[in-house]
């Protein structure tokens, strides 16, 4: 899981005051990667490495304007965390955004996380979590399984299978060859089991659709007969 940092956490990691961090932001020497639900700034390892370089210049006695000139003239060292430079709010969803997309409460998302059904892709020490976009699909599947009568423990198992598939589909090297083969076989068995249950649900839904159509016609017929009854004077 990748780490993210709040302003307080980043300042602590860098060993600078929040005032210094705010000045760097104000002068656009350091920009946050994203914004949390309540407006707090979030940073990744990319900003951490950039901040460490800024701190070195600051400790050498360079002021803000001097640092800006140095960066403009020679640039910044290439960061090993360049991949974490992306805009978090374009690449990930906060708890609130995920909850809104799935039409559940943020508390429900947190509960699913607490019991291990879903797992954030990024987390800060203070508890801020970010989820990849595919969790919108996963969370909608969770809602479907709840409608089908699955327990949370059963849903957790299905969710684990789904995450395993995403790992393997992303890279077969996620696991050793034998373990990958075992997990793929487990996924096939799980899919067959789910398919059997889906067939039962489909048959049940078809019965209910037929029943409801018939009963609706019968009720409309009763309404018609009732409207023709003579009201006693």
Confidence at residue 224, expressed as pLDDT on a 0 to 100 scale = 93
Q: Two tokens at 230?
A: 């003579």
The Cα 211–Cα 218 span in angstroms is 11
- Element (DSSP H or E) covering residue 204: helix 177-227
Closest CA to 183 of 195, 199, 196, 171: 171
Which strands sit side by side in the sheet containing 2-3, from one edge to the other?
2-3, 122-123, 129-131, 93-94
Q: Two tokens at 147?
A: 């409608």
Closest CA to 41 of 56, 59, 24, 53: 24
CA 102, 105, 106: angle at the middle one, nearest 5? 95
Confidence at residue 90, expressed as pLDDT on a 0 to 100 scale = 65
Instruction: Determine if the pTM surpasses 0.85.
Output: no
Confidence at residue 204, expressed as pLDDT on a 0 to 100 scale = 92
Full set of structural domains in the chain with CATH: 2-87 (1.10.1660.10), 92-174 (1.10.1660.10)
> Any idea which residue has 């390892």 for tokens?
45
Q: Two tokens at 45?
A: 């390892």
What is the secondary structure of 7-70 as a DSSP string? HHHHHHHHT--HHHHHHHHHTTSS--SEE-TTS-EEB-HHHHHHHHHHHHHHHTT--HHHHHHH
Confidence at residue 199, expressed as pLDDT on a 0 to 100 scale = 92
The Cα 137–Cα 151 span in angstroms is 19
Confidence at residue 117, expressed as pLDDT on a 0 to 100 scale = 92
Judge residue 56's burial from the number of C-beta atoms within 10 Å of its C-beta, 0-12 exposed, 13-18 middle, 19 or more buried: exposed
Per residue of the chain (233 residues), give pLDDT as tens.
Answer: 678 888 888 999 899 998 988 888 888 888 888 887 777 788 888 888 888 988 888 888 888 888 888 888 777 666 554 554 556 666 788 899 999 999 999 999 999 999 999 988 888 777 788 898 889 998 999 999 998 888 999 999 988 888 888 888 888 888 899 999 999 999 999 899 889 988 998 999 999 999 999 999 999 999 999 998 887 76
- Element (DSSP H or E) covering residue 81: none
């Amino acid at each position: 899981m990748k780490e993210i940092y709040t302003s307080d956490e980043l300042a602590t990691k860098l060993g600078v005051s929040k005032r210094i961090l705010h000045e760097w932001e104000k002068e656009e020497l350091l920009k946050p990667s994203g914004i949390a639900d309540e407006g707090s700034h979030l940073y990744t390892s990319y900003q951490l490495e950039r901040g460490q370089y800024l701190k070195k210049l600051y400790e050498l006695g360079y002021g803000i304007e001097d640092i800006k000139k140095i960066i403009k003239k020679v640039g910044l060292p290439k960061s090993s965390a360049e991949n974490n430079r992306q805009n978090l709010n374009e690449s990930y969803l906060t708890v609130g955004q995920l909850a809104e997309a799935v039409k559940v409460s943020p508390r429900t998302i947190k509960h699913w996380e607490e019991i291990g059904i879903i797992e954030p892709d990024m987390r800060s020490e203070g508890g801020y979590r970010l989820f990849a976009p595919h969790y919108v699909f996963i969370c909608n599947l969770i809602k479907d399984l709840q409608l089908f009568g699955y327990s949370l423990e059963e849903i957790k198992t299905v969710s684990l299978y789904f995450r395993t598939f995403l790992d393997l589909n992303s890279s077969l090297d996620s696991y050793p060859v034998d373990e990958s083969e075992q997990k793929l076989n487990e996924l096939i068995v799980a899919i067959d089991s789910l398919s059997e249950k889906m067939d039962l649900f489909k048959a049940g839904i078809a019965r209910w659709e037929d029943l409801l159509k018939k009963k609706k016609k019968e009720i409309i017929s009763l309404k018609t007969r009732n409207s023709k009854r003579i009201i006693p004077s």
